[in-house]
Structure 1
């Protein structure tokens, strides 16, 4: 996997705004009949731009309920309102919906009519961030590709909530109230296409049990995780980005080869309780260890291969390019054997 691919994926999955609109060229003329049809069908509380006939903007209108949504709508924007309920009556005609943004409302689980989302067979993106949900809403449509539930009060995930979501590529549950007991061995079963999983800023003390094998980006920062089980990542053969900042990891809690993952490119372990640099793979490119308790560096021990001699091909060298160690107890200069090992380093922060 190249750095170019790594950067592209970060752009795709870490961006907060995703454009997937079916944009109609501004040069297209709309005949008077279409103009009348779109205007008369548009809910009076909302805005229906003639140039985007599949989009409906009802955001930031102080709405307390969802108005009846026309059948032609694909993209529905309802964020920043006072909506408490999601009913089948409001969405019964909107069978072509692909995108619903309900961020920053007052929606509770009791306010979501059972089956209202699962009836939307074409739905790809569902945003319910900054609401008052206490558990993951279920059932959900099998078509779903992104589910964003950040900044709610979620402490429970109903059994089988994700079992039919084989198309889901992104699941965001950060800043909720998940405990270790909230995650069972089969919680993520069925998420065979999942690429990004974000469970940061919850109340976990252990690593989640049995994660999907195809996950490429895993966010577990700002929990209280103390240890990682041996061989935990063995089945995750595509994992290239792992963030465990702001936990309670210690040297004792890290098995010797737990991060020896050939696919891993970026490992973040900042703000933990480590006293030494953990063993890494020869393929790792970015390592963040700032604000731990590390006081010495032994380059020979840290090097994932024997210290290379003078005549060695670049392709055989460890790939580490960035190493961050500030906020520890390390004093310059940088050990010479560290530089002999990691000859591709472009930046070391101490």
Structure 2
């Protein structure tokens, strides 16, 4: 058993270097050095998982790391090297076993579980991560206090279940809620009112209609940054989104238009996906997508006949598979300010567009020369 995170890394390095000579003979010194560097980078990459594991070892008393077989559910696996993890996936379970108090990470995906009662979690006060993907859980099967009692829970995965509405109540501590590929068509009022720490909400591939939303549906989501509602049945843009939304994914719906000034309420949106909808020129705001925060705009597979107005800050624009016949550069080229700061020239201060996709339209090559003159940072144009 490793005594701390850094001992674990040292052990892995020692094992790697034992075989480095053989690798060097085969691949050469340069190749071996490259492999060594890549493996080392992978071990120290600061992902959510490595941060969480580091917190386990740095924030716990080493005396508490001893794994006692008697508290490990017989249906599950308790790895000695990760004493805060409990693996119960792919076991045909119909019920959630009693969760030991030492567990932070719980894996229950791909079982036959239909209910989430309170009792199995009554001692699991340290849980940070629950994966219940690919089960048969319904809203009626979730006991009211089962999830809200988990005061330290950060990540909840309930993808590929039988949910018809967003479950509630949920713990205030929650940061990510994954509900993709359910049957969600309802979001009860007040569902998100206490989820001020939620940063990611994934509702893709459900059965959401426009009537699922009220003006205050997303009230309380003060820190939400990523909202995914792709592959639903929306015809309109959802109302009153959280102000801090940075990534908005609405592809594969039936959205026909975007209200005037819609983006005023989400001034930080940087990544906007509206591929595979029914957007037409008449359905766009008069200013198009001239929103300074947007860096990546995806409008593929719609019904546009012309390139919409864009911001000088936009870097990636996807317009493939529309009905566009020509590119009017005089309309879409963002105008430069009449006066530039002394330290800036027109090249560095001009439009930032680097990638433009126009294939699948009615545009014929060659690329218009004035397009390249306007967007001088363009690295790729696909027609």
- Same topology, TM > 0.5: yes
Q: Which residue of 1 aligns with 2:38?
A: none
Q: Structure 2 CA distance, aligned partners of 1:307 and 1:69? A: 62
Q: Structure 2 CA distance, aligned partners of 1:163 and 1:156? A: 15
Tell me the CA shift for residue 183 of structure 1: 1.0
Q: Which residue of 2 aligns with 1:8?
A: none
Partners of 1:115 and 1:138 within 8 A in 2: no
**Does structure 1 residue 72 correspond to structure 2 residue 105?**
no
Q: Structure 1 CA distance, aligned partners of 2:180 and 2:160? A: 7
**Does structure 1 residue 60 correspond to structure 2 residue 93?**
no
Partners of 1:298 and 1:337 within 8 A in 2: no
SS in 1 for 2:201: strand
Partners of 1:230 and 1:258 within 8 A in 2: no
Query: Which has the larger Rg?
Result: 2
Q: Which residue of 2 aligns with 1:99?
A: 129
**Does structure 1 residue 49 correspond to structure 2 residue 90?**
no
Q: Structure 2 CA distance, aligned partners of 1:102 and 1:151? A: 13
User: Of Structure 1 and Structure 2, which has the larger fraction of its residues in helix?
Assistant: 2
Q: Which residue of 1 aligns with 2:360?
A: 327
For 1:276-287, list aligned pairs within 5 A: 276-287=306-317
Tell me the CA shift for residue 149 of structure 1: 0.3
**Does structure 1 residue 235 correspond to structure 2 residue 268?**
no
SS in 1 for 2:227: strand
Cα deviation digits, residues 172-225 of structure 1 (max 9, x gap): 000000000001111101100000000000000000000001000000000000
Q: Structure 2 CA distance, aligned partners of 1:185 and 1:136? A: 17
Q: Which residue of 2 aligns with 1:302?
A: 332
Q: Which residue of 2 aligns with 1:346?
A: 379
Q: Structure 1 CA distance, aligned partners of 2:290 and 2:191? A: 32
Matched positions, count:
326
Tell me the CA shift for residue 299 of structure 1: 1.2
Partners of 2:255 and 2:277 within 8 A in 1: yes
Partners of 1:233 and 1:258 within 8 A in 2: no
Calculate the TM-score normalised by the size of structure 2.
0.82
Cα deviation digits, residues 86-108 of structure 1 (max 9, x gap): 01111111011111000000000
For 1:210-221, list aligned pairs within 5 A: 210-221=240-251
Partners of 1:231 and 1:258 within 8 A in 2: no
Tell me the CA shift for residue 315 of structure 1: 2.2
For 1:173-252, list aligned pairs within 5 A: 173-252=203-282
Tell me the CA shift for residue 256 of structure 1: 2.1
Tell me the CA shift for residue 292 of structure 1: 0.1
Q: Structure 1 CA distance, aligned partners of 2:285 and 2:98? A: 56
Structure number with the bigger relative contact order (C-alpha 8 A, sep ≥ 6) is 1
Cα deviation digits, residues 204-254 of structure 1 (max 9, x gap): 000000000100000000000000000000121211100000000000000
Unaligned runs of 5+ in 1: 1-16
Q: Structure 2 CA distance, aligned partners of 1:63 and 1:266? A: 43
**Does structure 1 residue 40 correspond to structure 2 residue 70?**
yes
List structure 1 segments (4+ residues) > 4 angstroms apart after TM superposition.
none
Q: Which residue of 2 aligns with 1:22?
A: 53
Q: Would the alpha carbon gap of residues 108 and 18 (structure 1) be closer, same or farther in structure 2, given more than 3 Å must change? A: farther
Partners of 1:256 and 1:278 within 8 A in 2: no
**Does structure 1 residue 271 correspond to structure 2 residue 301?**
yes
SS in 1 for 2:141: coil
> In structure 1, which of residues 108, 126, 135 is the aligned counterpart of residue 156 of structure 2?
126
> In structure 2, which of residues 198, 211, 225 is the aligned counterpart of residue 168 of structure 1?
198
Calculate the TM-score normalised by the size of structure 1.
0.90
